[in-house]
Structure 1
Amino acid sequence: MTAYFAYRHMAPFGTSSLLTVDLGQQYIDFFAYLRRTILHDPSAIFYSFSNGLGGEMVGNWAYYLLSPLNWLLFFFPGTSLSSGIFLLTVLKYGLAGLSFAWLLLKLTPQRGFVAITLSTAYAMMGWTIANQLNIMWLDALFFLPLIFYGLYRLVVTNHWRAYLIWLTLMLIVNYYMAYMICLFMILAFIWIAVTHFTSWRKLALQAGRFALGSLTSGLLAAVVLLPTWWSLTQSKAQYTVTSFKWKFEFFPPKMLAKFFMGTFNFDQMPSGTANLFVGAIAVLGALFFLVDRRQTLRSRLTAGIITLFLAASLCVQPLDLLWHAGQFPVWYPYRFSFIVGFWLIWLAAQTLTADFQPGPLAIALVTVVVAGGCFYVGENLKKFSFLHSNAFWLGALFVVLALLIYALPIRKHWLYPLMLFVVGVTEVTANAFLSLNNISYVSQSEYANYTNELQRLVDKTQAHDQSFYRIGKTFLRTKGDAFQTGFNGGSVFSSALPKATPTFMGHIGSPDGDGFVEYSNGTLVTDSLLNMKYYFQQKQLSGALAGSNMLPASTNKADLAAYRPIRQDHWATTYQNPYALPIGYAASDQILTLKNGTADPAQYQANWVAALTGNAQDKHLYQVENFNQVTFQNINQQTKITGAILQKKNLVKPASITLTIKPDTNDAYYLTFGSTVNPDNATFILNGQPLNQYKTYRNTILVSVADHAKGKTLKLTIQLKKSSLWLENFTLYRLQTAQFKQATTQLQQHPWQLTQHSQRSFDGTVTATTAHQVLNTSIPYAAGWHATVNGHSAKVYKTLGMFNAVKLRKGTNHVKLSYWPPMLNLGLLISTLTLLVVSLIWWGQHRRHRPRPANDHHRRH
């Protein structure tokens, strides 16, 4: 794999990188956070304001960051992090092969070339090649053989230590993949127990040991599992599917195509069938196991039933959901198929022994099965866009070669293992080459140039101002830019994102999804209320550099005209927001009872301000405005624009609508776009330039189109990409800027004057002018936040379903807010007590089995 990556010029070998899809868009940012937190800011371990507007981090650590190999990343500062990811990737490939080979050496007669062939097939199976970008899942590959070995020892020889250690470590390192391994351990226990069955009493004892060992592992890992479970109840667990149908997700034989090489590409990532490639040697070996008379009939029958269950799990909806803990995966389907690969290669290892010589009937049966599979795939080749005919015929050739090797009566000849090695390793290598050649990667310069420039902007801002604030920007590489460069932001892409965060972002008119939020559509109002004190905007370069800015624009933000430019370099300008409110301030207690009664983000923002100021007039901050002129091209005239359905007159000709706006004030103007008014359905051009906008949004967003533009003519052209366009929630608003300034001035009067702050604690004083005020903060609420007011414990209230607030008494109040993960203390207690008990039992067993000194007998007599 190192040779292949060097051939593709991956950093450190050239100008490319291993960054692609989620590895480049999500995980690398978490790795940057890991380095910064451990080396520079340990207060961010449990809570971080780089996590969207702020969020707990236990769920992110448990899912992304607890691999012991991640410590190697400390040696890769800055943009060399991509080289660290390369090192992690090849190490995990290597450890997967090493651990499977070790399992074979311990539990089977496999040695030499055969062991290397099977362990290479395991390390480089289709699942690994397809999921190497999901780097945190790869730990499961090298833990699985060790856990299986521990289970085998537990069941067969009553030695429990290996099972306990490896399963506990897996539960800590990645609970998600550990869950799948735990399910497989149930199946593996059944096969091992049946294969070694001697009596029902012994079976009951084995089952008891298995249950007790598994439970003990869970208790030992409670320090991670319990706070993670709590985190999941706020995030992923809220998307669990509760109703399902017993049905096939596709025609089951379709998955046979994935046993061929080169069957992975970008289209397979979101919704393909399972990645099942393990090579012809392993597939044939598993089939021969089922007809191998050297194995007991009960062992073969049990293996056959388990194999059928795994096959059904790859295409029957409820079983698929079971393996994914009740949730359909968003991208990367059938994530548990590494289990199938392990199982097939393990069965092949049972078969490929020196005394195995299949008879004519066994060869005939296996030949019929594989020939039938090849025939089906060959006949339907046009239906499999991911499988090219060359790869199919090459795969069929390897099947023939593997069959010949199995059939040849040269089992004990030195040539036999060498032939297995050459055929097996060549096939899995060819699969890696063909599959990964289908994938494109982020160049090292694209990642490094952007990251270095953003880091410069952040460093200069933080050197200039050490108070607590958030930073907004009008450009984007990933939604985790704040993690990557260490600032308090408003965007994040995380599987552990609490559901409340995207819900809130959808309300205020910024793009959101189940696992991401992107603060690209902030208004003067939200920038103020969310403590967005500074903004970075990319420069429009001209001449030879036009369009080459390394900071790709993600939004149109005309209202930056209301902010003060304080610094600039060749690529970007930094603005200071004079209306930014502090992280906390005294406000009306009406905010505690505000309920959302609108789907209009402009009205939502106005209601929010009114609840904070206590001034009902602020509910009318935004005014609906008419367009000065509307012209239609190849579209029927419409009298009302909002909610109109635009239809092309002539389907083959271009169609567009041009809206003219001529502001008669210097106020900020915004357009609302409903979810159908998006870049997939139309092209938006503002004053001859493309209107920059983050592409994915499912709720109505607010788009800044003008500010300080009195008397100027603005033209927005919407070009239809399809035959029709629904202008859902398409409305022009004017923010009454004078009234907005009055509201922010009022709220700025009594700030929370912080004497100390970190990522998980704030301490300071705030003055309330009446008994009906609260300390309102833009710190996202979580059950782990605890407050004291004037030294006494106080209740933390949730506002807008999103933020922390604390009631104040009239006068000066000393308020402290601090965060500690829920259930962490309980988990720590359970893990410590369990470890103590296990250690005492082990010590007792060790003493009992320790050999006595030779003269002990004489001393007693």
Structure 2
Amino acid sequence: MQARKRRWSLTQRQFTLLGAFLTPFILMTVYFIYRQMAPFGSSSLLTVDLGQQYIDFFAYLRRALLHDPSSIFYSFANGLGGEMLGTWSYYLLSPLNWILLLCPGTLLTTGVFLLTVFKYGLSGLTFAWLLDKTTKQTDLKAITFATAYALMGWSIANQLNVMWLDAAYLLPLIFYGLYLLMQTGKWRTYVIWLTLMLVVNYYMAYMICLFMILAFIWLAVDQFTNWRHFWGQTFSFAWTSAVSGLLAAFVLLPTWWSLSQSKAQYTVTSFKWKFEFFPPKMIAKFFMGAFNFDQMPDGTANLFIGAIALLGSLFFFSDRRIRLRSRLTAGIVTVFLALSLCVQPLDLLWHAGQFPVWYPYRFSFIVSFWLIWLAAQTLTNDFQPGWLAIAIVTLIVVAGSAYVALNLKKFAFLSWSQILLGLLFIIFALALTTLPIHHHWIYPLAFFVIGVTEVSANAFISLNNISYVSQGEYGNYTNELQQLVDRVQKKDTGAYRIGKTFLRTKGDAFQTGYNGGGVFSSVLPKTTPTFFGNIGNPDGDGFVEYSNGTLVTDSLLNMKYYFQQKQLSGALAGTSILPASTNKADLADYHITNQDHWATTYRNPYALPMGYATGSQILTLKNKTADPAQYQANWLAALTGNPSDQHLYTAENFNQVDFQNIGQQTKITGAMLQKKNLLKPAKITLTFKPTSNDAYYLTFGSTVNPDNATFILNGKQLDQYKTYRNTILVSAADHAKGKTQKLTIQLKKGSLWLENFTLYRLNTAKFKRAVKQLQTQPWHLTKHSNRYFSGTITTTQRNQVLNTSIPYSKGWHATVNGKPAKTHKTLNMFTAIKLPQGNSTVTLSYWPPLLNVGLLVSGGTLIVLLGGWWLLRKRQ
């Protein structure tokens, strides 16, 4: 009899766990099939950052692991080049990412689909595991709570931040490990899962660690027997948490170094104790479908958990079966979490001292977990609330709903239908939790149907508010760019960079495996966007895009090849699969090497090698100008040692300027254009006729952008990347001697400040002489990879240096003729090495800073743990 009972109990548990995995897994799979997501249709899960950033990192992951291990620690697809451990630890260390290895090329979108639905399923599975181990919840009720957790509003809103979803399925395991530690003193479960979380994603792990402190306080109060026991638990919690950090040191230490160069430099050091918004506004997020695109950059926290879990969490505080001290402590924790969602310093605390750029209140999954956990503690089969508790909970729900309904105009993401539907589910949930039907067979079925239907409806409504990249848009572009890259790399195996005049994402180089000049990353070193801003290219705190290269920067940055989209005519006009991102008239100076239906490939004859010998003036060059044209001239002059090169660019006057519905201006640069009649169109037309075949460039200040005006050059809209915060250089004409050039600027607003708006002519002959001089002493590479360069170089004078376009990092280690050599930083960006006169063999190799220390710490900690465990087992 006992054996039969045990077998039934095991089967019941398997049913619960399997159901908890399959329910969210199937629900989201069915929804994605309905939306025709790849591989089931013509759409994809790519949207916002997933389509603009993460998909490129996933392609890089496949290439690094399967084809190019040298790029694991350093990659020249990372902007102009950069370390990669920070990228791995933030984006790519999920154990589920191995799925992506099965999805080559454009099938990568299928891999993203599989990643997403598996993480939904695992979230349900691990939460059900926690309930099975710590509560009386089983079968359909446990599956309902697990599904409410897996499909909580935070997960639905952040499924595009797919690397964060690891936190959702690991949090229940970590919490269970802490629960087990507090109950029995067994520490392995807690240490293993917390260590894994720290390795998989340090950012979300930080938030979980903060929550573990709150959870420890609650568990310690709940289990309090005497002070000696309490201090013993505190010691156990402290040392096991520290051990997890030490075991993860091989990732955390080099990541800390990476962050010190990038994200950590944007940490907020001053703040005000204030509410970020009126706190009751959060109530609206408990209604289904309370999410749309506008909530991504600047919304309130995503808190939807379903009516059953919400009511259950409220009833927890009146449940007399639970100790009063436990309920009071839980109340304090809940209030702290609520305040964290609206009080600025607490919000900053959860985000490690930095205001999130998009996706605010990223820690709200912890709030949802906490509320669902409280509900699962309360809504057991023997729960029967008193009338006072029912009245108070009903009053809270009615008051909150009334506030949202009366202020519905303030919540653009809600409609009356959502309000009424939400109230209907609240009524159902209230009936389920209060009526004495808990032991009837229909109760768990109704619990499941109502709970799962509501969270499914929330997912459906919320995700229907978001648009996605089509599979064709992603696949056609990627296939074409990959073919262009493969053709070049097959013929030229050297060390060089590739530029292009079209763009899908700033991570195209990661996607198709070439050395590029753009990247979008949260761990981008601050020096990189600073440099891009100096040379007249778009930059931001987390991105750079080499869309505005000139003949000078193309040469100095080793942009040896360029891809340009073709302008299709006739019936195919405007149908290019390669969306233009810049105007580059100076390609007229380059040589066509190949072309296909969509694009032309150019070779830059002026591209300098990755390294070459120059005078030592480059070591002492300081930036003293905000003009990108002058910055480039100063840079080149420091390399050649010729002061006349500082006058490489010459400001030119326009031949004619015509104003329409704008007041006349005597000076164009810095002019404030004002509409005379706000109701009529206004434009300014500027013409110039080049007197030589030199390259001509325009500088646009940050106000002279596509948001404020439309730019028409010679009858065609001027292509330009939209986001830039510094002055950029725009290629306007080349090889156009005697041909009139006409630029029309159409105002989109009542006024336009022509900030730093200047026409420049590049002295092409002087530029060519300078490049020819620098090409005479190249670094002849005999071996090269992403993290290793070796070659010979000959210097003819004393005090010369090897100047490279390799971004400076403490991870680069140099040798000259077999002896260690010091690396120097030029332009606060690149690497240079002092050379002796004569022939030299120079090597540069990269190894992540602090990685060796991290490996020693992690390895030593593991050895000590295993040794202690072995000794303990031997004694026993």
Q: Is TM more than 0.5 here?
A: yes
Q: Which residue of 1 is the match for residue 75 of structure 2? A: 48
Offset, 1:845: 2.9
Distance 2:367 2:675 in 1: 51
Offset, 1:791: 1.1
For residues 421-467 of structure 1, give each alpha carbon's deviation from its aligned partner in whole angstroms, at most 9, with x where no partner exists.
11110000000000000000000000000000000000000001111
- Identity among equivalent positions (%) equals 76
Distance 2:208 2:842 in 1: 46
2:866 counterpart of 1:839: yes
Distance 2:591 2:562 in 1: 10
Offset, 1:588: 1.2
Among candidates 141, 148, 151, match of residue 121 of structure 1: 148
| Helix, strand or coil at the partner of 1:11 | coil
Offset, 1:847: 3.3
Q: Which residue of 1 is the match for residue 281 of structure 2? A: 254
Structure 1 segment 314-325 matched on structure 2, within 5 A: 314-325=341-352
Q: Which residue of 2 is the match for residue 718 of structure 1? A: 745
What amino acid does structure 2 have at the position aligned with 1:795? K
Distance 1:763 1:346 in 2: 58
What amino acid does structure 2 have at the position aligned with 1:808? L
What amino acid does structure 2 have at the position aligned with 1:707? D
Offset, 1:269: 0.3
Offset, 1:848: 3.8
Distance 1:499 1:252 in 2: 35
2:664 counterpart of 1:640: no
Offset, 1:414: 1.5
Among candidates 199, 209, 217, match of residue 190 of structure 1: 217
| Helix, strand or coil at the partner of 1:533 | strand
Offset, 1:401: 1.0
What amino acid does structure 2 have at the position aligned with 1:793? P
Q: Which residue of 1 is the match for residue 597 of structure 2? A: 570
2:836 counterpart of 1:813: no
Offset, 1:140: 0.3
Q: Which residue of 1 is the match for residue 417 of structure 2? A: 390
What amino acid does structure 2 have at the position aligned with 1:2? T
What amino acid does structure 1 have at the position aligned with 2:250? V
Offset, 1:413: 1.4
Structure 1 segment 424-823 matched on structure 2, within 5 A: 424-823=451-850
Among candidates 264, 271, 278, match of residue 298 of structure 2: 271
What amino acid does structure 2 have at the position aligned with 1:842? W
Distance 2:71 2:679 in 1: 56
Distance 1:828 1:555 in 2: 45
Q: Which residue of 2 is the match for residue 853 of structure 1? A: none
Among candidates 364, 374, 381, match of residue 337 of structure 1: 364
2:403 counterpart of 1:376: yes
Q: Which residue of 2 is the match for residue 159 of structure 1? A: 186
Q: Which residue of 2 is the match for residue 202 of structure 1? A: 229
Distance 2:182 2:823 in 1: 51
Among candidates 54, 57, 82, match of residue 27 of structure 1: 54
For residues 558-595 of structure 1, give each alpha carbon's deviation from its aligned partner in whole angstroms, at most 9, with x where no partner exists.
00000001100000000000000000000111000000
Offset, 1:846: 2.9
Q: Which runs of 5+ in 2 are unaligned?
A: 1-27
Q: Which residue of 1 is the match for residue 251 of structure 2? A: 224
What amino acid does structure 1 have at the position aligned with 2:114? L
Q: Which residue of 2 is the match for residue 327 of structure 1? A: 354
What amino acid does structure 1 have at the position aligned with 2:800? Q
2:316 counterpart of 1:294: no
Distance 2:575 2:523 in 1: 35
What amino acid does structure 1 have at the position aligned with 2:549? G
Structure 1 segment 100-139 matched on structure 2, within 5 A: 100-139=127-166
Offset, 1:504: 0.2
Distance 2:784 2:419 in 1: 61
Among candidates 14, 38, 49, match of residue 11 of structure 1: 38
Distance 1:414 1:289 in 2: 24
| Helix, strand or coil at the partner of 1:138 | helix
Distance 2:257 2:139 in 1: 47
What amino acid does structure 2 have at the position aligned with 1:372? A
For residues 231-267 of structure 1, give each alpha carbon's deviation from its aligned partner in whole angstroms, at most 9, with x where no partner exists.
0000000000000000000000001000000011110
Distance 1:659 1:295 in 2: 78
Offset, 1:420: 1.2
Distance 1:831 1:243 in 2: 35
What amino acid does structure 1 have at the position aligned with 2:370? W
What amino acid does structure 1 have at the position aligned with 2:270? S
For residues 768-827 of structure 1, give each alpha carbon's deviation from its aligned partner in whole angstroms, at most 9, with x where no partner exists.
111121000000011100101111111100000000000011111111111000000000
Q: Which residue of 1 is the match for residue 267 of structure 2? A: 240
Q: Which residue of 1 is the match for residue 20 of structure 2? A: none
| Helix, strand or coil at the partner of 2:316 | helix
Distance 2:259 2:832 in 1: 24
How many residues align? The count is: 849
Offset, 1:419: 1.5
Distance 1:62 1:620 in 2: 45
What amino acid does structure 2 have at the position aligned with 1:436? L
Structure 1 segment 400-439 matched on structure 2, within 5 A: 400-439=427-466
Q: Which residue of 2 is the match for residue 857 of structure 1? A: none
For residues 457-504 of structure 1, give each alpha carbon's deviation from its aligned partner in whole angstroms, at most 9, with x where no partner exists.
000000011111000000000000000000000000000100000000
Distance 1:828 1:554 in 2: 43
Q: Which residue of 2 is the match for residue 827 of structure 1? A: 854
Distance 2:81 2:267 in 1: 24
What amino acid does structure 1 have at the position aligned with 2:558? N
For residues 260-309 of structure 1, give each alpha carbon's deviation from its aligned partner in whole angstroms, at most 9, with x where no partner exists.
00011110000000000000000100000011111100000000000000
For residues 642-696 of structure 1, give each alpha carbon's deviation from its aligned partner in whole angstroms, at most 9, with x where no partner exists.
0000000001000000000100000000000000000000000001100000000
Q: Which residue of 2 is the match for residue 399 of structure 1? A: 426
Distance 2:355 2:651 in 1: 41
Distance 2:425 2:338 in 1: 23
Offset, 1:612: 0.3
Offset, 1:389: 1.4
Offset, 1:392: 1.1
| Helix, strand or coil at the partner of 2:803 | strand
Distance 1:697 1:231 in 2: 25
Offset, 1:412: 1.4
2:158 counterpart of 1:144: no
2:348 counterpart of 1:349: no
For residues 714-767 of structure 1, give each alpha carbon's deviation from its aligned partner in whole angstroms, at most 9, with x where no partner exists.
100000000000000000000000000000000000000001000001000111
Distance 1:319 1:846 in 2: 45
Distance 2:103 2:43 in 1: 17
| Helix, strand or coil at the partner of 2:439 | coil
What amino acid does structure 2 have at the position aligned with 1:415? I
